[in-house]
Amino acid sequence: MYLRDLKGLKFPDNAVIKFFFKNALHTLGGRALELACSNGNNLQLFANYDYECWGVDLAAQNIQNANFNFKEVLRAKDYRFFCEDIFDFAKRQNGIEADVFLIPNVVNYFSREAFLELLHLSRQNALYKKNAFFFLRTRGIKDYRYGLGEKIAHNSFRIPQDENTTGEAGCINTLYQEHELVEYLKERLNLHDFKVLSYESTNIMGDDDRLVYDSDIVIYGRIA
């Protein structure tokens, strides 16, 4: 396999890589489900260790790239990708019972209420099995986007249409504090044996090469 042959993102999220090996997932196998999977760049890691991979993404190009990468480049054994809104997917599917459940880099684009509804649907419709591994990555309140645009709810803002430094014009950004996320996940997923980490970095973005400060929260553990 050559990285140059992959369409779209080339590498898994660095936090997913650490989560994968810290929990010895390379020794376990099973079924991995990722909501908002992009082109399957995170699931590629799981496929290399013979996991059955399920991914959902709203962008048709991402799903097209994912199917190409898994078939033509990775020669993966068992995978399914769905071009669908993740809320519709969570309502429609029942009994996937994944061994690993991932929601990286997407829930900040929802309202707080929608995020909690997604957690509820995931549990109600058994998207994961008892004691599955869980991974979440989302934005914290120290992020550059905090306070950017119209405030629409607690720590939630809509980026102006004419502000495209980060390529998110018009998007909702709901930002969290660590303790909030922990309480939500304990309440809605019965999260236990979890770790909470901070991922902070700077990046050059936009036409004016603006320095943007990214601040993410990563939480992973087991869900009952």
The predicted-structure confidence for 25-40, as pLDDT tens digits, reads as follows: 999 999 999 999 999 9
pLDDT of 173: 97
Helix (H, G, I), strand (E, B) or coil at 120: helix
**What letter would DSSP give residue 222?**
E
The predicted-structure confidence for 65-83, as pLDDT tens digits, reads as follows: 999 999 999 999 999 999 9
Calculate mean pLDDT across residues 155-174. 94
* Type and span of the H or E element at 186: helix 178-189
CA 137 from centroid of its chain's CA atoms: 6
* Type and span of the H or E element at 46: helix 43-47
Calculate mean pLDDT across residues 131-137. 98
Residues near 69 by beta carbon (within 8 Å), at least 6 away in sequence: 6, 7, 8, 39, 40, 44
Residues near 86 by beta carbon (within 8 Å), at least 6 away in sequence: 35, 36, 56, 57, 58, 106, 118
Distance CA 198, CA 139 (A): 10
pLDDT at 137 over 90: yes
Q: pLDDT band at residue 164, thresholds of 50, 70 and 90?
A: confident
Calculate mean pLDDT across residues 117-137. 97
pLDDT of 1: 72
Q: What are phi and psi of 167, to 5 degrees?
A: 75, 25
pLDDT at 206 over 90: no
Tokens standing for residue 160:
């102006």
Task: Tell me the pTM.
Answer: 0.96
Calculate mean pLDDT across residues 144-169. 94
